[in-house]
Amino acid sequence: MQSPTTLLDPTAELQTSARQLLPRLASIAGLTIGLLDISKPRGKEFLDEVQKHLEQAGAKVKRYSKPTFTRVAPTELTQRISVECDAVIEGLAD
Amino acid sequence: MNQAIANQATHYALVVKKDCPTCALIEPVIHSLANNETLSLKVYVQDDPSFPADIEDVIDDSSLEYSYQQEIEVVPTLIRLSDGNDAQSEESRIYGWDQKQWQNFTGIQELGAELIDFKPGCGSKTQDPGMDEVLALRFGKQILQARAVELAEAEDIMEACFERGWSDGLPVVPPTPLRVMRMLNGSDRDAAEIIGKVPPDNVPCSIEKIAINAVMAGCKPEYFPMVIASVEAALQDRFCMHGLLCTTYFSSPVMVVSGPVAKQIGMNSGINALGQGNRANATIGRALQLIIRNVGGGVPGGIDRANMGNPGKYTYCFAEDESDENWASLAMDRGFDRADSVISLFAGDGLQPILDQQSRTPQSLAKSMAMSLRSVAHTKLFGMADAILVVCPEHRRVFREGGWDKEDLRKALYEELMSPGTDIVRGANDIAEGMPEKFKDKILNKFRDDGLHIVTTGGTAGMFSAIIGGWVASGERGSQLVSTKL
């Protein structure tokens, strides 16, 4: 017997069964990009550099940071980013 | 037994279970057969291989594989084989305990002579409720062809369905292979049969895919023939499911069930018939919506462009009240008999009440209903949207006590719903919306021919009928009511 955690695909199977990525942005000009500092050392310096490149490409940048890199971002923070930004880049440093 | 004797001996297979009093009764018979050198015997036991005591080489069939493959229904079952090594070489079988029958079958005259003459057997464990599909999955022919989606160990099974986009927003029943097998057993249709192409992606849809979505919607297997019929109805060209899904208007399939099946599967045609609370009403309607979403790929904001939609897009299915045999059902209006079970699909919107607590004559009530019916889509738009008039039982009583049947009501509504074009053309009454100017000198009816359907459902208290307005692309250019007999 198959394991109880096997489900049968209810769709037409036109796509892979893995979770789908959201559509990629065609351009970032005029869009708001969030930069999420996960609070690892030197993350700020790295993201400052990323921000410069993004702004040169015409994007607006908003900065966020997680309280600690050891845990997932608080729900309040992820909700705020999802409302305020068109895309987000998570910054990992060290 | 030496090899020469074994080759000439008669071969038997015996299937027993310890928990069966008849099997316990014949234990001496089993010993007698096992010790008889002129035959060979294989004993298969379904529940406890320590039974029968003191028999060597009892075969443990607690997996029930042998019992399933041999289609054992009763224990004990004694099978005579032409080849002791080939379970398929069955010549004949007997079951239960019948002394004379066993003696004749084995040719052993004194077999079980000390026992009572007769004792019927017990049900084989393969016949326990729910076991059929469990065993079919383990040992049967592979009939499920849908892609198996393996979940991670720590993944929540309910959340997994949401995350893969399979849900209408409410929890779905996870479509495990076992549940899908049970759903498929609700119908005689072959799982691999392709029923048609489901819009908007126009993908071939198998009975199995319908079963998977029916499981997710929460259907019982006994609803499954109805779900299949609803998909067949939705795929009729007349219904125009593709356009209905794409429209910016509110409409979506509304299902009306007529005939004996409604009572057989426990549908609600009484109090709150169009509301929540009845599993069959709720899940049959939902199954069709999930099929359009998952198989057809019709998701809101994708091909589904409804600007608001309506709450019936979760599910919209109810049964007719057929308690008045002199009042034709919708199915009868469509040419079926009262004894036929029929599902009808209508491209419709939400529910608009008609309150009339004062009319005591058919004439007054018909005028009252007609006045409300003018509001479908827009009071100045005629012939665009069909409608279902849902007559409540108390209003039906007013018509019946006044000597009217449904045809009388239909004729009266037709007459009441005529209007001079001059009142409803664009600009009339200082309202820009309305019929094109070319209708100014015509007399128009609110509904096109065959555009107003009448059903009855609901509780026996409350003089509240209702209107289910139709899609503004009703008729041949869009959607027409379709009916499918089960």
pLDDT computed for residue A93 by the predictor: 60
CB contact under 8 A, B148 and A12: no
CA dihedral angle for residue B31, residue B35, residue B36, residue B42, rounded to 10 degrees: 70
Minimal C-alpha gap between A87 and chain B (Å):
20
Tell me if B397 sits within 8 A of B444, measured CB to CB.
no
In whole angstroms, give the CA distance from residue B467 to residue B453: 10
pLDDT in tens, A11-40: 999 877 666 778 888 999 999 999 999 888
Is B209–A20 a contact, with Cβ atoms under 8 angstroms apart?
no
- Best B132, B135, B164, B172 member to test A by mutation, with max A CBs in 10 Å, is B164
Q: Tell me the residues of B at the A interface, defined by beta carbons under 8 Å apart.
A: 134, 137-138, 144, 146-153, 155, 157, 160-161, 163-166, 174-178, 180, 198, 201, 203, 205, 208-209, 212-213, 216, 290, 294-297
Residue A26 lies in a domain: no
Q: Say whether B146 and A20 touch across the interface (CB within 8 A).
A: no
Cα distance between residue B359 and residue B40, in whole Å: 86
| Nearest by CB: A14 against B138, B178, B201 | B201
Q: Are B378 and B441 in contact (CB under 8 A)?
A: no
Angle between helices B131-139 and B177-184 (to 10 degrees): 110
Measured between CA atoms, the residue of chain A closest to residue B161 is A7
Q: What is the value of ipTM here, to two decimals?
A: 0.81
Beta strand segments in chain A, E: 6-8, 32-37, 60-65, 87-91
Nearest chain B residue to A8 by CA distance is: B148
Contact (CB<8Å) A10/B290: yes
Return the pLDDT at A71: 78
- Our CA angle for B464, B251, B385, nearest 5°, is 75
Q: What secondary structure letter does DSSP report for B479?
A: B
Residue A85 lies in a domain: yes
Cα–Cα distances (Å) from B163 to A74, B130, B166, in that order, read: 20, 30, 8
DSSP B99-157: HHHHHHHHT-TTTTTTS-SEE--EE-GGGSTTHHHHHHHHHS-----SPEEEPPTT--H
Note the pTM of the prediction, 2 decimals.
Answer: 0.87
- Report the gap between the CA of A4 and the closest CA in chain B (Å): 7
Domain count, chain A: 1
Residue A23 lies in a domain: no
Residue A79, domain member (yes or no): yes
> Which residue intervals of chain B bear CATH 3.40.30.10?
3-126
Would you say residue A3 has pLDDT above 60? no
Range of the domain at A37: 32-91
CA distance B207 to B140: 19
Choose the closest CB to A10 out of B155, B163, B209. B209
Per-residue pLDDT of chain B (486 residues; tens, 9 = 90+): 444 444 567 899 999 999 999 999 999 999 999 999 899 999 999 999 999 988 888 999 999 999 999 999 999 999 999 887 787 889 999 999 999 999 999 999 999 999 999 999 999 999 999 999 999 999 999 999 999 999 988 899 999 999 999 999 999 999 999 999 999 999 999 999 999 999 999 999 999 999 999 999 999 999 999 999 999 999 999 999 999 999 999 999 999 999 999 999 999 999 999 999 999 999 999 999 999 999 999 999 999 999 999 999 999 999 999 999 999 999 999 999 999 999 999 999 999 999 999 999 999 999 999 999 999 999 999 999 999 999 999 999 999 999 999 999 999 999 999 999 999 999 999 999 999 999 999 999 999 999 999 999 999 999 999 999 999 999 988 999 999 999
d(CA B302, CA B326): 46
What tokens were used for B209? 């895919």
Q: Are B145 and B207 in contact (CB under 8 A)?
A: no
Residue A11 lies in a domain: no
**CATH for the stretch B3-126:** 3.40.30.10
Q: How many CB pairs under 8 A join A and B?
A: 81
Instruction: Show Cβ contacts of residue B426 under 8 Å, excluding neighbours closer than 6 positions.
Output: B432, B433, B434, B435, B436, B437
Strand positions, DSSP E, B282-321: 317-319
Residue A16 lies in a domain: no
Q: Which among A1, A10, A14 has the least Cβ separation from residue B134?
A: A1
